[in-house]
Amino acid sequence: MDAAKNKYSIIVPTYNERLNIALIVYLIFKHLRDVDFEIIVVDDGSPDGTQEVVKKLQTLYGEDRILLRPRPKKLGLGTAYIHGLKHASGNFVVIMDADLSHHPKYLPSFIKKQLETGASIVSGTRYVKGGGVHGWNLIRKLTSRGANVLAQTLLWPGVSDLTGSFRLYQKSVLEDVISSCVSKGYVFQMEMIVRASRKGYHIEEVPITFVDRVFGSSKLGGSEIVEYLKGLVYLLMTT
Amino acid sequence: MKHVLKLISLLVVISALWIGLLQASVIPQSHTWLLPIYFIVSLGCYGLLMVGVGLMRFPTCPQEALLLQKDIAEAKDFLKQKGVDVGSD
């Protein structure tokens, strides 16, 4: 694959990220100096003025580099990716969060790994040496580790970080995998990588650090755990 | 083949081995009957061990929070210059 001819479409779903979207765009441009890329912002009708900020960024960086493709309201992550994919002109697609828990400084390592190995998917993992998490207390780490061990034992997924959403896909691979996924939320991220693994796609991992920006919010209530277990059983039965 | 079928076939093979052991009486019957319990308990202990070890070795990156703050400050400076609104949220 001729590296010079690759274009990377970075899909960033947003909801109320007026400040973070500007920061993340700056950091992406800073770390991808000699790369052909475009940023596709899929905003779900944010009331805080996110889209106005994006338009300002467009005048700064160019409308061919930053695409604003909004939707009228919150319609879910999976459909946000599908919507972004429709407008992606690159042969590679990166998905990442807008809240700076995923740092653009890792983008070059994703690209390099893919070029070195010819992988169909490069997945960022927080759980290996060189990666890591900041901002999680002991309970949070325990549930994360427990959930991971359970998923590894039941599913044999072939990746170390199942719920991560910082990934690089070959565009055709993403289109193929996403069409067969039906889950919501983080189970969706798990379903994507497990289905890709089952289909035999070449998946590589790179370490990433994850700084949790959602301070104090309890994402791990009883209902979250039930949802997770239901998701595991669903994946066990259907993949 | 669906993954659950792979697991089931693995279970079937292990069960066949266990029944074989029961028939062959290589090990005293009283022990053989308890083998499934030993197996499940070992699996549980292995799981707990994996969770414990993983928790101890959980990779953290406190310096990343600082680096991120630096990056945010740098980005805010640049954007302010260029007239992009970076008021706090």
CA distance A181 to A198: 13
Give the structural domain span for A46: 8-237
**ipTM of the assembly?**
0.85
Please say whether the dihedral angle defined by the alpha carbons of residues A182, A47, A19 and A50, taken in this order, is positive or negative: positive
A3 belongs to a structural domain: no
Question: Which pair of tokens denotes residue A99?
Answer: 């809240």
pLDDT at A220: 63
Which helix H or strand E contains A204, and what residues bound it? strand A203-207
Q: Mutate which of B45, B53, B56, B58 to disrupt the A interface (most A C-beta within 10 Å)? A: B58
Q: How far is A234 from chain B (nearest CA, A)?
A: 10
Residue A231 counted as domain residue: yes
Q: By CA distance, what is B85's nearest residue in A?
A: A53
Q: Is B51 on the interface with A (CB under 8 A)?
A: yes
Q: How far is CA A195 from CA A61, A121, A166, B2, B4, in A?
A: 36, 12, 17, 11, 14
Contact A165, A191 (CB under 8 A): no
For residue A111, which amino acid is it? I
A72 falls within a domain: yes
- Is B67's pLDDT higher than 80? yes
pLDDT band, residue B89 (cuts 50/70/90): very low
Residue B10's identity, in one-letter code, is: L
Q: Residue B53 to residues A124, A138, A151: CA-CA distances in angstroms?
A: 22, 14, 16
Is A23 in contact with B75 (Cβ distance < 8 A)? yes
Residue numbers in A near B60 (CB within 8 A) = 132-134
The minimum CA-CA distance between B39 and chain A, rounded to whole Å, is 15
Residue B47 has pLDDT above 80, yes or no: yes
pTM of the model: 0.90
| Residue A2 belongs to a domain | no
Tell me, yes or no, whether A14 lies in a domain: yes
Q: Is A185 part of any domain?
A: yes
Mean pLDDT of chain B: 88
Q: Cα–Cα distance between A238 and B2 in angstroms, integer? A: 6
Residue B33 pLDDT: 84
How much is the average pLDDT of B16-36? 83
- pLDDT the model gives residue A120: 97
- Please indicate, yes or no, if residue A1 is contained in any of the structural domains: no
CA distance B19 to A229: 32
| CATH number of the domain residue A83 falls in | 3.90.550.10
B4, B75, B85 ranked by CB distance to A53: nearest? B85
Please tell me if residue B47 touches chain A, with a CB cutoff of 8 Å: yes
Two structure tokens written together for A5: 């001819």
Q: Do the beta carbons of residue A178 and residue A78 sit within 8 Å?
A: yes
Which amino acid is located at A133 in the chain?
A: V
Residue A59 lies in a domain: yes
Rounded to whole angstroms, how far apart are CA atoms A208 and B61? 10
pLDDT digits (tens, 9 = 90+) for A92-107: 999 999 999 999 999 9
Question: Which of chain B's residues have a Cβ under 8 Å away from the Cβ of A100?
Answer: 68, 72
Q: Mean pLDDT score of chain A, rounded to an integer?
A: 91
Task: Give the pLDDT confidence score for residue B88 in this predicted structure.
Answer: 57
Domain count, chain A: 1
